[in-house]
Amino acid sequence: MRLNHLELSRYGRFTDRNIELPLAAHDFHMIVGPNEAGKSTLRQAFSDLLFGFPIRTTLDFLHPKSELRLQAIIEHAGGRLDFQRVKGNKNTLRAPDGTPLPDTVLDAYLGTATGDFFDKMFGLDHPRLVRGGNDMLKAQDDVGQVLFQAAAGVASLGKVYEALQAEASLLWSPKKSKERLWYMAQAELDGANAALKDVTVRAREWTEAHGRVRDLEQAMTEGRERQQQLLAQRVRLERIRRLAPAVAVLGEHERSLQRLGTVIQLPVDAADVLASAEIELARAEQRKSTHSAHAARLVAVLRDISIDEKVLLLGADIEALDTLRHRYATHEQNIQRYEGECASLWKDAVEAALELGWPAAESMDPAAMHAWLPPLPVRRRIEQLLRDLGGLRQALQVANRAVQSRESEIAAWRARLNQLPVIDVPVELRAALDRATALGEPQAALDKAAVAVDRAQMDLDKALAALGTWFHDVPRLISLQLPSSQALARLLAQRQELSSDVKAARSRLAELSEAVGQRELALRQYLQMHHPVTVDDVLQAREHRDGMWRSLRNGAVSLESGAPAFEETMVRADSLADARLDNAQEAAALQSLQHLCEQERQKQDYAGQLCRSVEASLMEFDDAWRDTCRRLGVPGMALDTMPEWSAQKDKALGALQQLALTRQEHESVLAVQRGVLHALHKAMNAAGLPISTTDTLTVSCLRTHEYINAGEAARVRRAALADQLTEAQPILAALQQAGRVAAGDMEQWTLEWTAALAEAGLAGERVAAEVQAALGLMETIADKLKLIRQRRVEQMDVMRSELQGFQNMAARLLQALDLDPAGVEPGQASRDLMTRLYTTRQAQEQKTVLRRELQDVQAQLQQADEAILSASARLRPLFERAGVVNKDELRQAIAQSDRHRALSETVTKGQAELWTIGDGCTRTQIQDEVESVDHAQLIAQLDVLNADIDSGTIEQTRLAVELADATRRLDAIAGTDAAAKAESQRQEALARMADVTERYIKVFTAARLLRWSIDRYREQKQGPMLARAGTMFSSLTLGSFERLAVDFDREPMVLEGLRRDGVRVGIGGMSDGTRDQLYLALRLAALELHLQQAPALPFIADDLFINYDDARAEAGLRALADLSRSTQVIFLSHHDHLLPTARKVFGDGMNLVLL
């Protein structure tokens, strides 16, 4: 799959940005931009386009999340898809017109690739390049891990493996440790088993404990009863001491209440009602006095105010008269001004009439002068004729010039048509030229074929030189049959397995030898410490004893001489037997140590045999490989060298085949060009063209092209001229007809012009300018007369009429007010009437305000009366209930009622309080208890009771402690949950052990599977991948390293770089930049292997050559050029200094995109 076009419609800082990625021989595209130009945004856009936007994105700083959109055109295997990707929860794939597409539409283009896989396998930037180099440094002792990490793009694989190993060790290991979870659970299980054994039931102990508990419970019950009696006595005395004062106070209040006798009960707020009523009466009487005086003053003022009712009735007319006075104030001045304007206008009209030659103009009036003017339709007809004159003259001139111009063009076209040659190009010449043109650039094709031959020869020489001393000649190289890559991989895996077996056997032998030494040391130390008696020692002593006895019984030794020795041997044998019986455990331990030591020796012997066997197998394998190399004709070649040499051999054979193909193609191109040149010369000769034997195919094509082009140009020109002549004849006839029509229009205008002048009184030969000037003077006279009529009729007459109406209105108003209008100026009359109206209205407003104020005062007087009545009504119920008639008697009755009510409430409250704090006793019971006690001895009695209660409490506490201890002991031997708890702890420990075991199996299996995956990948991919990566690494380092090699003698195997002088350099010995280049070579080699088995996707490279010099940067670009033959490569960078290097590698036709 490849991208043809990418549009960043709404994405990050981009808006409607288009990026074209056309297909080329090297599908390489370089995108260059300064910092913050959007290079990182563009790199993220490729992933978001193909696999969707993440839920959270930081690229919405310019466009909202809902508007983020990418559009692209992709193609794969002949298919093509134009689609959009938008940000959303569903239907994120859409057609260009916005129609939703199914989510599976990209499956045919992406295969099974995911976003994470695409980022790791087809994406590489500088930080990841550096991180990959550092991770290779950490995993330098494991070639499988290095290859797996580089191929899969997975960093820090060693950390994952180490974490799994560490977790497995923390869970369980053969070596016991308190820090391992399995052994911790086992310790808990042992503790639970021990606790379960301790929980047993014994009958005698249970009977004694049960009896002790029963006795203590009985004693506790008796003591509790005594304590309750003492507490009851203390509660009674405390109640008497507490309630005695309250009983005395309550009695005093009851006696006071009885002394008051019968009292009339008045309301609780009677005193407040009396006080507020007295205050309200005082305030109401004060307000009444004040408002009465104010009302009298207002009545006197209203009586003195007089109003002219006639003036008020005519107020609207007076105001209208005043309005007209202001409106007509300037009429007299305007009439005088308009008189002057009319005189000036009449003077201008007379002067215009004199210019027209009217002799009696000065003696005319406006009406007579208006009669002398020609009618308006006549004047307008003359103006229209003047406007038509210019158009008619121009039309006539244009028609005459067009006829002359067209006649001249027709004559010129006929002359040129007669001068053009007639050339007929043969069909054979055209066909020969087409065959020659189809070859393109002949010389360039020859040069390209020659360059291809030279390049193929150079590649062959380089490939043959790389074969080293094992290359003799090409025929032997072609006939050389080497094992296949699969067979070599199997042989490498077999030798690696044998080497691993040898190392494992040697390691096992060393471990067992050390174990045997430890067992023998333990046996010696045990013998030195315990000196145990063995079975052999007892049997030997008994054998010696029996021998002495046989000597004495046979008479071989006399009784006198042999008896002491026999007794000594008998005592020794018996003592050894007794000692062995007494120390049977030590003897058994010694025997166990001896058996263990013997078992370790047997294991050591077996391990030695196995080690010698696998070493022999490895030597046999190496001998067989050397025989194979001699048989193949490559003696002395190492097995790890064979895959790379085989690949180099295939490369050399491929270069040899490519050389043959390029030579054949060069000869084919040369033969085709010669045949085409011969056919072209033959056709040129037939057409009469000059031919030279030294002309190349390019020169001949140029001459033929010129000949054919000249013929085509002449033919096209003749046809064009003929078409122009044909089209020009009708046009010339039409132009001539248009000229005749224009001349007729001009004659008709002349007749109408003469008649119109005669009708306007302008007879005689007059030019258009004179007539136009006369018309202008007539228009001036007409305008002046019209303005004079407008001033007199529409303005001056109207103003005089309005002034007369104003004077009549003023006279009527004066008469209505009984005033004489004679000799009074209308304007002054209007001003006097307005003054009188204003004074009358002020008096009326003052009277209205005073009346309103008087109404308010009267209302307040009424409110004061109502307040007095209300206060008296509020006191009336109190007077009636108390049976009094004045306020002083009422005040005394209220005081006596309040005193009676307060005493009643106090007595009631005291009785309720006695009930509340009297412990449920009645008033009579409390009174009897208080009277039955000598209050002088009350405190002493309480002290005695408290002492008895304290001693009883101490005794109860002691009994409770003893009872709790006895109960605990009883529960410990019977009736407790100790056994259940112990069993629960035991089951919990077993469950933890099961969980630890299950987790250990998972973690240990995961670690083994990861190790197996790494080893399997190494076995399958190591040969081809290392060969390709070694070639790339050599190119990237400019030959500083020849290839990559694997050290099979180390465990695990180590990846190293081999210099030309044979020196091996490990990953740890390489510089940072060289490690980066090694990681790049491994990644590109792994990607090439992946592309052989899976669909291609675009490879995104981001600033990989930051730390490269120019030469190594060029080598890196050439590596990407090789990759671009297999898949699309998009290279992002902000270093524009790489552009010349890139053009050097890819040519000037490289696709460059500037951000």
Residue 1049 is predicted with a pLDDT of 54
Instruction: Give pLDDT, residue 153.
Output: 41
The model's pTM: 0.34
* pLDDT mean across residues, the chain: 78
How is the chain split into domains, by residue range? Answer: 212-262+919-973, 428-480+643-687, 487-633
* pLDDT at residue 1127 greater than cutoff 60: yes
pLDDT in tens, 763-774: 656 667 777 777
pLDDT confidence tier of residue 581, bands split at 50, 70 and 90: low
Tokens of 790: 């407008």
Burial of 1085 (0-12, 13-18, 19+ CB in 10 A): buried
CA dihedral for 468, 470, 476, 480, sign (positive or negative): negative
Name the pLDDT band for 741 (thresholds 50, 70, 90).
confident
Which tops the pLDDT comparison, 429 or 1126? Answer: 1126
Structure-model confidence comparison of residues 1062 and 297, the more confident one: 297
Q: Does pLDDT of 225 surpass 80?
A: yes
Residue 84 pairs with which residues in a beta bridge? 71, 94
Place of tokens 């408290």: 946
User: 1109 φ, ψ to 5°?
Assistant: -75, 175
Spatial separation of the C-alpha atoms in residues 443 and 447, rounded to whole Å = 6
Q: What is the pLDDT of residue 144?
A: 40
pLDDT for the residue numbered 151: 46
Average pLDDT over residues 278-289: 80
pLDDT, residue 148, reads 44
The lowest-confidence range among 95-104, 159-168, 944-953, 1025-1034 is: 159-168
Contact yes or no for 836/317 (Cβ under 8 A): no
pLDDT confidence of 639, banded at 50, 70, 90? confident
**When comparing pLDDT for 1047 and 1009, which is higher?**
1009
Cα distances (Å, whole numbers) of residue 547 to 535, 559, 575, 1027 = 18, 14, 18, 83
| Predicted confidence (pLDDT) per residue in 560-573, tens digit | 777 778 778 877 77
The single residue listed with the structure tokens 């839920």 is: 55
Task: Give per-residue pLDDT as tens, 140-149.
Answer: 444 444 444 4
**Is residue 540 predicted with pLDDT exceeding 60?**
yes
Predicted confidence at residue 140, as pLDDT, reads 45
pLDDT surpassing 70 at residue 1057: yes
**pLDDT of 156:** 46
Q: What is the pLDDT of residue 146?
A: 45
- Band the pLDDT of 1099: cuts 50, 70, 90: very high
More confident residue, 1108 or 420: 1108
Contact 774, 356 (CB under 8 A): yes
Amino acid 543: pLDDT: 83
**Sequence-distant contacts of 192-199: CB under 8 A, at least 24 apart:** 192/982, 192/983, 192/985, 192/986, 192/988, 192/989, 193/986, 195/978, 195/981, 195/982, 195/985, 196/979, 196/982, 196/983, 196/986, 199/976, 199/978, 199/979, 199/982
Residues 729 and 413: beta-carbon distance below 8 Å: no
Determine which of 57-71, 464-478, 801-815 has the lowest per-residue pLDDT on average.
Answer: 464-478
Most confident residue range from 21-30, 240-249, 840-849, 891-900: 21-30
| Residue 673 or residue 201, greater confidence | 673
**Banded model confidence at residue 976, pLDDT cuts 50, 70, 90:** low
Percentage of residues of the chain with pLDDT beyond 90:
4
Give the residue-averaged pLDDT of 573-600.
Answer: 70
What b/e string do you get for 159-186 counting C-beta neighbours within 10 Å, with b at 16 or more? eebeebeebbbbbbeeeeeeebbbbbbb
Q: Which of 541-545, 626-630, 1017-1021 has the lowest mean pLDDT?
A: 1017-1021
pLDDT for residue 727: 79
Q: How confident is the model at residue 83 (pLDDT cuts 50, 70, 90)?
A: very high
pLDDT at 69: 92
Question: Which alpha helices (DSSP H) does 262-330 contain, by range?
Answer: 270-304, 309-313, 315-327
pLDDT tens across 848-892, in order? 888 888 888 888 888 888 887 887 777 778 777 777 777 777 777
Q: What would the pLDDT profile of 496-517 be if each residue is shown by its tens digit? A: 888 888 888 888 888 888 888 8
pLDDT in tens, 829-842: 888 888 888 888 88
**Looking at the DSSP assignment, which residues form a beta bridge with residue 1056?**
1045, 1066
For 82, the enclosing helix (H) or strand (E) is strand 79-86
Provide the β-strand partners of residue 18: 7
Residue 644 · residue 1027 · CB < 8 Å: yes
**Each residue of 399-420: pLDDT tens digit?**
888 888 877 888 887 787 777 7
Q: What is residue 74's predicted lDDT score, i.e. its pLDDT?
A: 92
> Which tokens sit at 775?
């018309």
Kind of pairing between the strands at 79-86 and 1043-1047: unpaired
Q: CA separation (Å) from 598 to 512, 520, 723, 928?
A: 12, 9, 124, 106
More confident residue, 901 or 1019: 901
pLDDT at 1051: 59
